[in-house]
Amino acid sequence: MPAEGPGALTGTGVSPGVGHGPVHVLADSVPEPPRGARHDGDAVAERARVHAALEQVAADLTARGRSAFPEARDVLAAQTMMARDPALAEAVDALVDSGTAGARAVYESFGTYRAALVAAGGYLAGRAADLDDVRDRAVAVLSGIDLPGPPDRAGGPYVLVARDLAPADTALLSRDTVAALVTEEGGPTSHTAILARAMGVPAVVACPGATGIAEGVRALVDGTTGVVTLSPSPADIEAARTAGDARNAALAEATGPGTTADGRPVPLLANIGGPADLAAALEHDAEGVGLYRTELLFLDREDAPGEDEQYAAYREVLDAFPGGRVIVRTIDAGADKPLAFLPPPGAEPNPALGERGLRLARTHPRVLETQLAALARAADGAPARLGVMAPMVATREEAEWFAAACRTAGLPETGVMIEIPSAALRAAALAAAVDFVSIGTNDLAQYTFAADRQLGSLGALQDPWQPALLDLVHAAATGAAAGGRPCGVCGEAAGDPALACVLVGLGVTSLSMGAAALPAVRAVLARHTWAQCGQAAEAARAAGSAKEARAAARALLPGLADLAL
C-alpha cells in the first residue's frame, strides 16, 4: 500500500535543513531483457549496435561528469571506464556471435562481471551498484526505452525519493529542481549523503517505506531530525518556512574565523580533492584546507604523476589561502581508492584490511618521494603554511617513519591521520612523533565497527554518533593534548553542526569538512560556549546508542533550535 499520509516516516537526517514539495519516486531499474532473446541473425550488425550503445552511455556519463559535483565526478569517471571496458565488450561480442540479442548479451555479461565483483568483497563489491547502473543504461538504449531518471524542473522543486541514488542520477540535479532527497537505503557516508551535503539540499537516508510513498503526495523533509511528514498541513509548512528563513538569515551573518560563543578559536577548514574545489571553499569562508585528498587528482591515471604536475596542483591551493593553513594528505591508495600505478603487491581477499594508505606508499617509495619533493617545492615561498599528513597510520613506528621521510624531503610540519582504533588508543605516542594529528571519522567508524563503509546496508554502524566512536575521538584528542599537539577532525562527522560542537567538547581543536557545511557549523559553534560543548560531549558519551547520543547532545545545545538545525 503506498503511503498517502497524513503520517510520517523516519530515517537518518544526513544533510540539514527542511524542504517540501510533491514526491517523485525514482523507478528502481530497467526491466531485465527476456531470457533466451535472440537477434535476427546478423551478428555483425548486432555487435555494432551494442558497441554504439555502450559508447553512447560512456559519452553521456562523461557529459554528466562535467557538470557534476566534485564528489560525483570520480564515480562517473570510473563508470565511463566500465562502459568502455574491452574485456566486457569481448564477453558481449561472444554472446552476440552465438545468437543472443544485444540487450540480453549486455545483461548477462555485466552479470558475470558483477558476480566476480561481489565475490571479491570489500571495495569491489561496493562498486557493483555502479556497474548495475551502467548495465541498465546500456540495456535501456538497446531496448529503446527511456531510462528512469529525475524529472526536469517543470512544476517546481520536488522531493526525490529512491531506493538509493547513483551519482549519475544526482549529477544533473540542483537546488532549484530538488527540494529534498529521501532514500530507503544508504548511510551517512553514502553517495546520496555526500552529494546532498555538497549541493546544500536537505536529505534523509535509511528511511524504511520511502519508496512506497505515492507519486505526487506532498512531503515535508527535515534533513536534521530525519522525519519525513506526508501531506503536511499549511501550518506545518509555514512553521518550517519561518524556521528556514531565520536559519538562512543567521547563517548569512556567521562569517569569519570559527569560534565558540566564549571566544575559543576553532579553525574551520575545507576538505578538497583538488584546485577545482577552491572556489566553494573560499565562498564559504574556509580558513584553509584541513584535508587535501591528493589521490583524487590521480584516480584515472595509468602512470604516477610527475613532480612538476604535482607541484602545480599543490601550489595553486597554497596560493589561495594567504596567511592560512593547508594540510595535504599524501596519496591514500587502495581499498575504496584504488590507483593503477600503486597496486597492492599481491591478491588481497580484504582490500580494506590490506596494503593501503601509508603501507602502500612504503612499498612504492619512489611515488612517495616524488610527492614529498613536489610538496617541499610548493611550500617554498608559499603564502600559506603547509602541513603534510599520512593516511591509515596504525603504529608509532609508522608515524616516526613518515616524520623522518618528511624531514628528509625538507618538510617542516608533519602529521598523521587517526583512522584506525590502534592509533586512537595510542594517540599520545603517535602525536609525539609528529606535529599534529587529524581524525578521519569515516575510516575510524569502518574499523571500529568492522562495517565496510561502502555498504549502505551497514549505514547504522557508520553513524558517527555511535558512543564507541566518540570514546575513541576522546581518547585521540586527550592523547594528542597530553603532548601539546593539536587534534583536528576531517571526516564527514565534522560537517554535522551538533556533532561539531560535541567534537569540540571532546577536545578536538579544528574541524575540516565539505565546504557547503561550513556556514551551519560556524553559526552553531558561535552560539555555544566551550563548557556547553563539553557538557554535550559528556552526555553523548554516556548514551547507550547513536540515536540517544544525538538526542542527549541536542538537548544541551539550544542554539540548534534557533537555527532550525
Q: Which of 443, 452, 463, 496 binds Mg ion (CB under 5 A)?
A: 443
Give the x-and-dash track for 481-500 against ligand PEP (CB under 6 A).
---------xx---------
Q: Which of 136, 110, 135 shows the shortest CA–CA distance to 28?
A: 136
Nearer of residues 137 and 293 to ligand PEP, judged by Cβ: 293
Report the alpha-carbon angle 209-214-216, nearest 5.
Answer: 130
61/494 with CB nearer ligand PEP: 494
Does 442 sit near ligand PEP (CB under 6 A)?
yes
Which residue type, as a one-letter code, is found at position 263? Answer: G
Of the candidates 441, 454, 510, 532, which one interacts with ligand PEP according to CB under 6 A? 441
**Sheet with 7-10, edge to edge strand ranges:** 7-10, 227-230, 218-222, 18-25, 158-162, 178-183, 203-205, 12-15
For 155-312, strand residue ranges (E) read 158-162, 178-183, 203-205, 218-222, 227-230, 268-272, 288-293
Burial of 555 (0-12, 13-18, 19+ CB in 10 A): exposed
User: C-beta of 257: minimal distance to Mg ion in Å?
Assistant: 26
CB of 503 to ligand PEP, least distance (A): 12
- The residue among 210 and 291 lying less far from Mg ion, judged by its C-beta, is 291
Q: Nearest to Mg ion by Cβ — which residue?
A: 443
356 binds ligand PEP (CB under 6 A): no
Grid cell of 44 as nine digits: 555483425
Q: Which does 129 bind (CB under 5 to 8 A by kind): ligand PEP, Mg ion, none?
A: none
491 binds, among ligand PEP, Mg ion, none (CB under 5 to 8 A by kind): ligand PEP
Query: Which lies closer to ligand PEP via its Cβ, residue 333 or residue 539?
Result: 333
Q: How far is the CB of 445 from ligand PEP (least distance, A)?
A: 8
Q: Which listed option, ligand PEP, Mg ion, none, makes contact with residue 504 (CB within 5 to 8 Å by class)?
A: none
Q: Spell out the long-range contacts of 395-400 with Cβ–Cβ below 8 A and sequence spacing 24 or more.
A: 395/422, 395/423, 395/426, 395/430, 396/426, 396/429, 396/430, 396/432, 396/433, 398/358, 399/429, 399/430, 399/433, 399/434, 400/433
Please report where in the chains the cell 583512522 appears, as a residue.
Answer: 419
CB nearest ligand PEP: which residue?
Answer: 440
Residue 202 binds ligand PEP, judged by CB under 6 A:
no
Interface with Mg ion, residue 492, by CB under 5 A: no
Cα–Cα distance for residue pair 182/185, rounded to 1 Å: 9
Q: Which of residues 242-281 bind Mg ion (CB under 5 A)?
A: none
Q: Is residue 464 a contact residue for ligand PEP (CB under 6 A)?
A: no
Residue 295 lies near Mg ion (rule: CB under 5 A): no
Query: Which residues are tagged catalytic?
Result: 191, 490
Least distance in angstroms from the C-beta of 491 to ligand PEP: 3
Quickly count: other Cβ atoms within 10 Å of residue 118's Cβ: 14
Question: Least distance from C-beta 440 to Mg ion, angstroms?
Answer: 4
Q: Which residues contact 244 (CB under 8 A, 6 or more apart)?
A: 17, 18, 564
Shortest Cβ 364–Mg ion spacing (Å): 19
180 belongs to the binding site for ligand PEP (CB under 6 A): no
With beta carbons less than 8 A apart as the criterion, state whether 444 and 420 touch. Answer: yes
Specify the 3-state DSSP secondary structure of 272: strand
* CA-based R_g, the chain, Å: 24
Site string (407-436) toward Mg ion, x via CB under 5 A = ------------x-----------------
CB closer to ligand PEP, 165 vs 513: 513
Give which of 452, 448, 450 is closest to 470, Cα–Cα.
448
Give SS3 for 10: strand
CB of 558 to ligand PEP, least distance (A): 29
Residue 270 CA to its chain's centroid (Å): 13
Residue 440 touching ligand PEP (CB under 6 A): yes
H helix runs in 121-277, sequence order: 122-126, 128-143, 167-170, 191-199, 234-253
Give the whole-angstrom CA distance, residue 289 versus residue 481. 21
- The answer to the question of residue 443 lying near ligand PEP (CB under 6 A) is yes
Q: Please give the Cα distance from 60 to 11 (Å, whole number).
A: 32
- The set of residues, in sequence order, having a beta carbon less than 8 Å from that of 339 and lying 6+ positions away, is 295, 298, 299, 301, 331, 333
Between residues 182 and 506, which has the closer beta carbon with respect to ligand PEP? Answer: 506
Using an 8 Å Cβ cutoff, are 260 and 530 in contact?
A: yes
In whole angstroms, give the CA distance from residue 493 to residue 557. Answer: 17
Q: Nearest distance from residue 481's CB to Mg ion, in Å?
A: 22
Judged by CB under 6 A, which of 49, 293, 315, 485 binds ligand PEP?
Answer: 293
In terms of CB distance, is 74 or 136 closer to ligand PEP? 74
Question: How far apart are CB 442 and ligand PEP at their closest, in Å?
Answer: 3
In the complex with Mg ion, the residue whose CB is nearer, 288 or 440, is 440
Indicate the residue among 184 and 419 with the shorter CB distance to Mg ion. Answer: 419
When binding is defined by CB under 6 A, the residue of 419, 452, 463, 496 that contacts ligand PEP is: 419
Residue 440 is a binding residue for Mg ion (CB under 5 A): yes
Q: Which residues lie near Mg ion (CB under 5 A)?
A: 419, 440, 443
Q: Which residues lie near ligand PEP (CB under 6 A)?
A: 291, 293, 332, 419, 440-443, 490-491
